[in-house]
Structure 1
Amino acid sequence: MAQDLNQISPIEINVKDLWHIVLKKLNNEFGNEIFNSWIKNIKVKSIDDDILYFSVPTRFIRDWITSHYLDKIIFFLNAENPNIRRVKISIDNMLSASHEKLEESSSETIKYQNRSSNLSQSDDWPLDERFTFDKFITGPSNELAFASAKRIAQSEKFDFNPLFLYGGVGLGKTHLMHAIAWEISNKNPNAKVLYLSAERFMFQFIKSLRQKDTMSFKQKFRSVDVLILDDIQFMVGKNSTQEEFFHTFNSLLDLNKKVILSSDRAPSDLEGFDERIKSRLSWGLVADILPASFELRYEILKKKSAELFKTNNNHHTLDDSVLIFLAKTIVSNVRELEGALNKVVTFSNIMNKKIDVELTKTVLKDLLRSNNKRITIDEIQNKVSNYYNINVDDLISSRRLRSFARPRQVAMYLSKKLTSRSLPEIGRKFGGRDHTTVIHAVKKIDQLKSENEKFDEDVSVLTQIITSS
């Protein structure tokens, strides 16, 4: 029997405390922008056995959370309380009204903050003061992106437009985009600089459609001097949003306004994007950011550690062997590298312990274990085959029986979500299939997850089996 968490009871305190812990983890996982746009809208409603019930203001928010963040929510909930295995999200109309009021209030507050800092931003997402050009450490893997970003930020007459930066997660794209916005705004305080994520662009566009106020939306985005749009890969498959973006993009270029974009892949690899847009994105300068070399990771750690020790007043010294160990061990991305260093220094400061390699290994044991254990497509194929009780050979074969086809689509979906492999690479691992087959599989599984609770549960269980093994 479901218990209403609006009633005062011991379980209310436990579950709400648990959700508060999970919210912190989700904020760290996805960052402030995604957290504030989507996850903070979730309210705990009730609990029934192994199901935790949530409510959100709108159907759009529910569907977006279900498609993009539900797996992580379940994972973190289950880590804190193994008895919670599923969540269900309903729509609360009362929340919808308060959500609109909160948005208006937040917008006014942030606009005031922007005015007080003399930063000419039109959007309600402030820039991070840490992300400036002088704090960006360069090496062979990012020097073209860095030089291009400085060029477009500092030059009145620019040789290229748009600037398109692409690279994996945590390599510095967002840092450079914030740095561009800071540089332009400091040089010309009257410039209208608009920075936001593609998710936020899409959220505002959908909101304008719902409120039948698209003209205000168009005016806001087409009257800026500089548009900086982060992570545009989130527009894949969103045809109406792409269409509006395309017209906004063209309008700004025609007016000789600066446009800076970022993605996790090159324009030509943006499957699900209109060909016109992919072609237009490539007209300017496309600069990639590659994973950092050992030397660059070491220099980043050296500079970051000096900042941390100064900020925390830590009287312990950091042995050079610790920096070398971290630079050799954590190779996935810079964000994870800096987070690991921050965790070690903070632990040392709190516990008053000297930082050495052994302490570092102890503090980071979970992170080091996950770095040693990388999920592969072969592993996903084996786990999915075992779950559905079929052979791996049948999973990757050309046979179209439903008993093979659906597990095959699930395995492709999980390969896309849980690995960094490209669509063509995934297709090749599934019997040499084309990348469009993988795209179709991902869309089909997303659709089935939203329509069928049992199927959604199966995919969630499989995800947990693969990530926890």
Structure 2
Amino acid sequence: MSGDAAALWPRVAEGLRRDLGARTFDHWLKPVRFADYCTLSGVVTLETASRFSANWINERFGDRLELAWRHHLPAVRSVLVRAGPGAAERQAAMTAAPLPPLAPAAIAAPAAPSAFDAKLSFERFVVARSNILAANAARRMAMVEAPQFNPLYLCSGTGQGKTHLLHAIAQAYETEHPAATIILMSAEKFMLEFVGAMRGGDMMAFKARLRAADLLLLDDLQFVIGKNSTQEELLHTIDDLMCSGKRLVVTADRPPAMLDGVEARLLSRLAGGLVADIEAPEDDLRERIIRQRLAAMPMVEVPDEVVAWLVKHFTRNIRELEGALNKLLAYAALTGVRVDLALAEDRLAENVRCARPRITIDEIQRAVCAHYKLDKAEMASKRRVRAIARPRQVAMYLAKELTPRSYPEIGRRFGGRDHSTVIHAVRTVEALRVSDSELDAEIAAIRRSLNS
């Protein structure tokens, strides 16, 4: 059975790459290798190059790894990432050898505008109702005049344009302030450089470099959640920048108040400026984005019915839409075939399957309440009568099974319950599904309603 599980790892990894994004996956999960699967305990063991990476992956991606494995192998109960053979020797060598100086690659000097992606400009960012607040706030952040709101916190799901706006701000600000020091980095890079500076005894240089920024842009802040020392340094950096009149832009996949494991002082700083949501792209925005991309490729003819088909099937985020369009155009260009609806349906069938909207906790709660004829408010209530407590446990169980959310996140959506309550609910329902055929059938019916 371990061999069968090993054969599944490439498929699991590919799904994670789509869910997490290529950059995050390549940095953390691409080096991971399958090690073992125990059929008795249901534990999948994976290996990576160092204890640091193993601990980070377990803490940050453990829930997502479990969900991804269960999708292909329902018997999986947990996933463990450990340091592979030779990790101790590598760690000892790294500790013994002094770290090289921190590379200032994230600082964009005026002579090196290539630090920012020229394709990710304001001119190429299509504005609609779903993103107009974020787009206008981003433009204000890049102007000569001091912005009215600082810091700017851009919030959206994956592939909605947060990173695009960061690069656009950086380039426009550089144009208006040619002598400015601009730092654009992912929160992961911030964390890694911070840890490297601590180990290398180079904290003063690290702090000085960040505090010298006229504009600091941090992408995917959710990846520093739970690291107290990193949060503390980020808090001090923000305070110094704000006191000096510098500008700060942060992105994350959820609002500040929903960032679990972030201390109150840091949340207060992040929410003290402007929190601008980017909502899921509406039909008009998706069509305009396709038209914009096609306008830059006049040699390729794409019928209106294909454009309408793309708009209909790729609703979740812009990245998936553009990826599907690029795949279709590349196939047509490399094979010489004409783009039509039949070609789109054939070549993008897998993309359509992967782009179906994911189930949310709110949808799960609504489906459970509809099945058991309860008011949705009961999902967050403190009432413990069996007729309410059991459906609530079922909803928690399905939330863990069908979404990538962690136990603390799920608990918060059920009236602020502790993560241990969610764990108890999940284990209770798992056990009952084996012994109670009626409950098992009810859960199957709820899952069918969610998938329909």
Q: Please report the TM-score for the alignment, with normalisation by the length of structure 1.
A: 0.69
Unpaired runs of 5+ residues, structure 1, are: 4-14, 121-125, 385-390, 428-433, 450-454, 456-465
Equivalent residue number for residue 9 of structure 1 = none
- Of residues 87, 95, 113, the one that matches 1:119 is 113
Q: Deviations over 1:59-79 (max 9, x none)?
A: 231022234445766888899
Equivalent residue number for residue 285 of structure 1 = 274
Q: Distance in 2 between matches of 1:236 and 1:416?
A: 19
The structural deviation recorded for 1:131 is 0.9
- Of residues 261, 286, 292, the one that matches 1:303 is 292
Q: Deviations over 1:43-89 (max 9, x none)?
A: 56789999986543332310222344457668888999999999754
Determine if contact 2:155/2:162 at 8 Å carries over to the other structure.
yes
Q: Distance in 2 between matches of 1:412 and 1:245?
A: 32
1:136 maps to 2:125:
yes
User: Structure 1 vs Structure 2: percent identity of aligned residues?
Assistant: 31
Equivalent residue number for residue 32 of structure 2 = 42
The structural deviation recorded for 1:197 is 1.9
- Of residues 159, 164, 171, the one that matches 1:175 is 164
Equivalent residue number for residue 204 of structure 1 = 193
Structure-to-structure mapping, 1:32-431, within 5 angstroms = 32-42=22-32, 54-69=46-61, 89-91=81-83, 92-96=87-91, 111=105, 118-119=112-113, 126-307=115-296, 309=297, 316-372=300-356, 374-375=358-359, 377=361, 410-414=397-401, 417=404, 426-427=413-414
Q: Deviations over 1:122-179 (max 9, x none)?
A: xxxx533321111111112222221221221122433332122222221111100111
Determine if contact 2:411/2:422 at 8 Å carries over to the other structure.
no
The structural deviation recorded for 1:324 is 1.6
Determine if contact 1:166/1:265 at 8 Å carries over to the other structure.
yes
Q: Deviations over 1:322-360 (max 9, x none)?
A: 112211232111111111111221222233222122221
Query: Aligned with 1:139: secondary structure?
Result: coil
Determine if contact 1:412/1:426 at 8 Å carries over to the other structure.
no
Determine if contact 2:44/2:79 at 8 Å carries over to the other structure.
yes
Q: Distance in 1 between matches of 2:266 and 2:232?
A: 9
Q: Distance in 2 between matches of 1:346 and 1:251?
A: 48
CA change 1:115–1:157 in 2 (3 A) is closer
Q: Distance in 2 between matches of 1:267 and 1:199?
A: 17
Determine if contact 2:183/2:213 at 8 Å carries over to the other structure.
yes
Determine if contact 1:322/1:356 at 8 Å carries over to the other structure.
yes
Q: Distance in 2 between matches of 1:353 and 1:82?
A: 41
CA change 1:392–1:143 in 2 (3 A) is closer
Instruction: Quote the RMSD (CA, aligned, Å).
Output: 5.0
Determine if contact 1:133/1:176 at 8 Å carries over to the other structure.
yes
CA change 1:216–1:25 in 2 (3 A) is farther
Query: Aligned with 1:299: secondary structure?
Result: helix
Query: Aligned with 2:275: secondary structure?
Result: strand
Unpaired runs of 5+ residues, structure 2, are: 432-446
Determine if contact 2:396/2:410 at 8 Å carries over to the other structure.
no
CA change 1:84–1:406 in 2 (3 A) is closer
The structural deviation recorded for 1:210 is 4.3
Q: Deviations over 1:388-431 (max 9, x none)?
A: xxx999x9796699x98998765444465169xx869942xxxx
Q: Please report the TM-score for the alignment, with normalisation by the length of structure 2.
A: 0.71
The structural deviation recorded for 1:294 is 1.3
CA change 1:398–1:371 in 2 (3 A) is farther
Query: Aligned with 1:165: secondary structure?
Result: strand
Which has the higher mean CA deviation after the structures are superposed, 276-285 or 45-54? 45-54
Count how many residue pairs are aligned between Structure 1 and Structure 2: 417
Determine if contact 1:136/1:175 at 8 Å carries over to the other structure.
yes
Query: Aligned with 1:134: secondary structure?
Result: coil
Q: Distance in 1 between matches of 2:140 and 2:47?
A: 47
Equivalent residue number for residue 443 of structure 2 = none
